[in-house]
């Protein structure tokens, strides 16, 4: 099963993608996580990406596309995957369609998690991410058992640099401008499915499972 997650920053793509990956035994491929890992390791890619990310801008397509296309050839992606944070532009979506077509494959679902902008800023201010394993929490909606500590691995939870309110506003602008057009793109490809992202995370997941199991 090959799935793309769509939705504004903070819509819940990562949260749902992790749950999908674990239920359906497919890898969760997050370009944001890949960039953050590269930044942490101080790689050349990480250094290039960081400047854009800190400003709330997208990393240029040429730094993203080959990376993802290569990732899809790994053994663990044979039975499918859930892509989170990619594609984010029309050229990225076209590159994905082309890479799939070359292998006689198609995308099964593009799941758009819908949520109004007003909800986003509040959500992002409360998002906390684990420095070690990347698990995400929300200080009010999805709190960890012990404040500031990851339930899964015990490491420290932090507010991402790009989750500060000014940067979130910029990311939302970039989303509407460059990523929202993908909703029509996948609508035209006949794989678009929409879910309400404003309800509890378990209810969002139930709606997604209904789509995947149909
Ligand atoms: P969120 O899940 O909150 O939307 P991500 O973790 O997906 O954020 O991405 C964080 C940042 O990484 C983005 O704001 C952008 O700068 C960069 N990024 C991630 N994926 C892509 C992509 N496919 N194309 C361009 N930039 C990307
Ligand atoms: P994205 O990957 O789309 O940027 P995340 O999955 O990281 O979004 O979620 C953004 C923030 O909102 C996180 O703090 C997360 O814990 C929280 N969150 C996710 N889903 C829900 C939900 N259904 N209701 C309330 N908060 C949520
Ligand atoms: Zn952790």
Q: Is the CB of 86 under 6 A from ligand 1?
A: yes
Is 13 touching ligand 1 by the criterion CB < 6 Å? yes
Above pLDDT 70, what percent of the chain?
Answer: 100
Tell me how many degrees the CA angle 144-195-2 measures, rounded to the nearest 5. Answer: 90
- C-alpha 110 – ligand 3 centre gap (Å): 28
- Tell me how far the alpha carbon of residue 47 lies from the centroid of ligand 1, in angstroms: 15
Active site residues: 13, 88, 127, 160, 171
**pLDDT tens digits, 101-146:** 999 999 999 999 999 998 998 889 899 999 999 899 999 999 999 9
Please tell me the distance from the alpha carbon of residue 174 to that of residue 4, in angstroms, as a whole number: 19
Question: Which of the four pLDDT bands, split at 50, 70 and 90, describes residue 12?
Answer: very high
Report how far ligand 3's centroid is from the alpha carbon of 208 (Å): 25
| pLDDT for position 170 | 94
Spatial contact of 34 and 64, defined as CB atoms under 8 Å apart: no
pLDDT band at 209 (very low <50, low <70, confident <90, very high): very high
Which pLDDT does position 56 carry in this prediction? 94
Ligand 2 neighbours, Cβ below 6 Å, are: 7, 9-15, 123, 126-127, 136-138, 141-142, 200-201, 204
pLDDT at 118: 87
What's the mean per-residue pLDDT of the chain? 96
Residue nearest to atom 10 of ligand 2 (CA): 10
The pLDDT score that the predictor gives to residue 161 is 86
> What count of other Cβ atoms lies within 10 Å of the Cβ of residue 196?
11
Window from 69-73, 121-125, 133-137, 191-195 with minimum mean pLDDT: 121-125
pLDDT of residue 122: 84
């Amino acid at each position: 099963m090959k799935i793309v997650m769509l939705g504004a920053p903070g819509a819940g793509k990562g949260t749902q993608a992790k749950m999908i990956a674990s239920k359906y035994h497919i890898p969760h491929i997050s370009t944001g996580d890949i960039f953050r890992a590269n930044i942490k390791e101080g790689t050349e890619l990480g250094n290039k990406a960081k400047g854009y990310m800190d400003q709330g801008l997208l990393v240029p397509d040429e730094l993203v596309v080959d990376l993802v296309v290569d990732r899809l050839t790994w053994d663990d992606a044979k039975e499918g995957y859930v892509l989170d944070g990619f594609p984010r532009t029309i050229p990225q979506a076209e590159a994905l369609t082309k890479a799939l077509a070359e292998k006689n494959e198609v995308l099964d679902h593009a799941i758009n998690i819908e949520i109004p902008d007003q909800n986003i800023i509040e959500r992002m201010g409360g998002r906390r991410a684990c420095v070690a394993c990347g698990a995400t929490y929300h200080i009010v909606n999805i709190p960890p058992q012990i404040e500031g500590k990851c339930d899964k691995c015990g490491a420290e939870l932090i507010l991402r640099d790009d989750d500060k309110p000014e940067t979130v506003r910029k990311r939302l602008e970039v989303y509407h401008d460059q990523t929202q057009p993908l909703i029509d793109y996948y609508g035209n490809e006949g794989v678009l499915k929409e879910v309400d992202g404003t309800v509890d995370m378990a209810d969002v997941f139930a709606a997604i499972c209904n789509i995947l199991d149909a």
